[in-house]
A = this chain, B = another copy of it.
Amino acid sequence: MNQERIVSEVSIQSDSKIILLVMDGLGGLPVQGKTELEAANTPHLDHLAAKSACGLTDPVFMGITPGSGPAHLALFGYDPTQYILGRGILEALGSDVEVGKNDLVARGNFATLKDDLIVDRRAGRIPTEENAALCQRLNNALKARIGLKITLYPAKEHRFVVKFSGEELSDALTDADPQKENTPRVYTSPLCPEAAKTAQIVNDFLDEVTDILKDLPRANTVLLRGFSKYPTIPTLVELFKLRPAAIANYPMYKGLARLVGMEILKAGQNLSDLFDAAEKHYKDHDFFYIHVKKTDSAGEDGNFKAKKEAIEETDSYIPRLLALKPDVLVVTSDHSTPSLLKSHSWHPNPFLLFSENAIADKVMTFTEKECSQGYLGRFQAIYAMPLMLAHARKLKKFGA
C-alpha cells in the first residue's frame, strides 16, 4: 500500500488549521563560514524554532536534487517517485496555461532551420516580444481542424508552450527535438499504437508551422519536447479530507497546487500580499500552503545577500501567521538552492513544526546545522504531511 493511501485511510475531517510556509530553496551552503540562513537575522524564526520540533528533510531521498515538481509533491504527501510530472505540464503550469483532461501540452522552442539542418535550437534566443508576436501570428494562421484546437503560449526568449485540445490525445510520444545542432528536423514517434493518431497530428502541426515561418531568418521552425497530459493525482480533498488553499506569487506554484486540488487564493506580487491573503481567507480553509519564491530566485542568481535579505523579510511576517493561532505551523523549504551553486541542490531542508502537540527540542536557532540536532531527525519530506495532519489531530488510529 502506498504511504499516502495509509494516511488517507486514517484521515478525518476536522476544523483544526494547518499553515505550511514554504521558503523555496531555503537551504544553502556556507560562504565565509555561514549559510544564507545562518547569516540572516531571523529573530522570529529563531524564537519559533525554540518552541518547535525541528529536523531536516530529504525531498526524494539523500543525494537526489529535485525539480520543483517532485519537491512539492513530496511536501504535499505524495510519493515523488510514483507521481511523475512531465516537463510539458510543468512548463504549462509555470506559464499560467490552464490544462484540462482533454489537453496535451509540450514545451516548445523556436529554432533555426538552414539547408534542412537545425543550426540553432534556440533561434538565437529571440527577444520575448518577438516570441509573443510569433505565437500570436501562428495562432491566427494555423488552419482550422475538426475537433482539435492548437494554441501556442509564449514564454521567455525562444520558449513557448503548445496546447493541443481534443478527444483521445495521447502523451506517449517521443520528443520532436534532435537535442543537438546541425542535424535534420526530428518528428515525434508514438510510444504505443494508441498514440499513432496523436503523433500524426503533432507532425502535421510541425510541418504547417515550418511552412508558415519559412521566410524568417531565425525563428523558422519549432522543436517540441516533454509531451504531457494532465496528470491524474488524487486530490488532497479526496485523500486527506482537507479544504486546502494555496497562496503564491508565481504561476508554477499555483499550478502545482491546483494539480492536487487546492483552491488558489488571489494574491498580488509582493511578499506582504501572501500574508494579507492568508488573513483574509483564514476562516474558509483548514490547510494553507504559502509559497515564498524570492529565496529560491536569489539562490539561483548566486546572490547570497539577496537570499539572506529575502529570508529576513519573510521572517518579519512570522508574527502575523502566529497571530492567526494555527493548530500547526510548519516552516520549511521544497529543496535547497545554495547561492554558492546557483541551482537546486540535494542538501536537506531545515524543517520546523510548531504545535501545542509537538515536543519542543533543543534547537534554538532555525539553521540547517541546528535542525540536524532536532527531535524529528533527518527524514524524507513525504512524512511532512502525515506529521502536520497528526499534530492537527486530523489522523485517527491505524489498525486495531
| A376 on interface, CB distance cutoff 8 Å | yes
Interface residue range, chain A: 35 or more
A86 to chain B minimum Cβ distance, whole angstroms, is 7
A359 in the interface (beta carbon within 8 A): yes
The chain B residue sitting closest to A374, CB to CB, is B372
B-contact bits for A94-122, CB 8 A (1 contact / 0 none) = 00000000000000000000000000000
| A324: interface (CB < 8 Å) | no
Contacts of A374 in B (CB 8 A): 372
Interface residues of A in 374-400 (CB under 8 A from B): 374-379, 383, 385-391, 395-400
Q: Please state if B62 and A398 are interface contacts (CB–CB under 8 Å).
A: no
Q: In chain A between 56 and 113, which residues have their CB closer than 8 angstroms to a CB of chain B?
A: 56, 60-70, 80-81, 84-87, 90-91
- Point out the residue from B66, B343, B359, B377 that lies within 8 Å of A30, measured CB to CB: B359
Given contacts A62-B376, A62-B379, 17 further A-B contacts (CB under 8 A): A1-B81, A3-B61, A7-B64, A30-B359, A63-B386, A64-B398, A65-B390, A68-B400, A84-B399, A85-B400, A341-B357, A343-B397, A361-B369, A369-B375, A372-B374, A373-B373, A376-B378
Most buried by B among A60, A362, A377, A396: A377
Q: Is the CB of B389 within 8 A of A63?
A: yes
Query: CB within 8 A of A359: which of B70, B369, B373?
Result: B369
Q: Does A163 contact B (CB under 8 A)?
A: no
Q: Which residues of B contact A86 (CB under 8 A)?
A: 400
CB nearest neighbor in B for A343? B397
A397 vs B379: C-alpha distance in the bound complex, in angstroms? 20
Q: Which residues of B contact A383 (CB under 8 A)?
A: 61-63
* Interface contact A398-B7, CB-CB below 8 Å: no
Minimum distance in angstroms from A320 CB to a CB of chain B:
27
Residues of A near any B CB (own CB < 8 A)? 1, 3, 6-7, 10, 29-30, 35, 56, 60-70, 80-81, 84-87, 90-91, 226, 341, 343-347, 357, 359, 361-362, 368-369, 372-379, 383, 385-391, 395-400
**Given A29-B357, A361-B369, A383-B61; A66-B377 close (CB under 8 Å):** no
The complex places the Cα of A64 from the Cα of B389 at a distance, in Å, of 9
Is A64 touching B6 in the complex (CB atoms < 8 A)?
Answer: yes
Give the chain B neighbours of A396 by CB distance below 8 A.
65
Tally of this chain's copies? 2
Q: CB-CB < 8 A to A90: which residues of B?
A: 400
Q: Within the assembled complex, what's the spacing in Å between the Cα atoms of A68 and B400?
A: 6
13 contacts between A and B (CB under 8 A): A6-B60, A6-B61, A6-B81, A60-B398, A62-B376, A65-B397, A66-B397, A66-B399, A359-B368, A372-B374, A376-B378, A377-B377, A377-B378
Chain B residues with CB below 8 A from A29, complex form: 357, 359
Q: Is the beta-carbon distance between B359 and A69 smaller than 8 angstroms? A: no
Q: Are B378 and A379 in contact (CB under 8 A)?
A: yes
Contact B372 A375 (CB under 8 A): yes
Question: What are the residues of chain B within 8 A of A372 when measuring CB–CB?
Answer: 361, 374-375, 377
What residues on B are CB-neighbors of A226 within 8 Å? 400
Q: Let me know if B63 and A395 touch, CB within 8 A.
A: yes
Q: Which residues of the partner chain B approach A343 to less than 8 Å between Cβ atoms?
A: 397
Q: A10-B64, A357-B29, A369-B359 are in contact. Are A69 and B377 (CB under 8 A)?
A: no
A369 touches B362 (CB 8 A): yes
Nearest CB in chain B to that of A386: its residue: B63
Are B387 and A62 neighbours in the complex by a CB distance under 8 Å? yes
Chain B residues within 8 Å of A390, by CB = 63-65, 345-346
User: Chain B residue with minimal CB distance to A371?
Assistant: B375
Bound: A168/B343 CA distance, A: 52
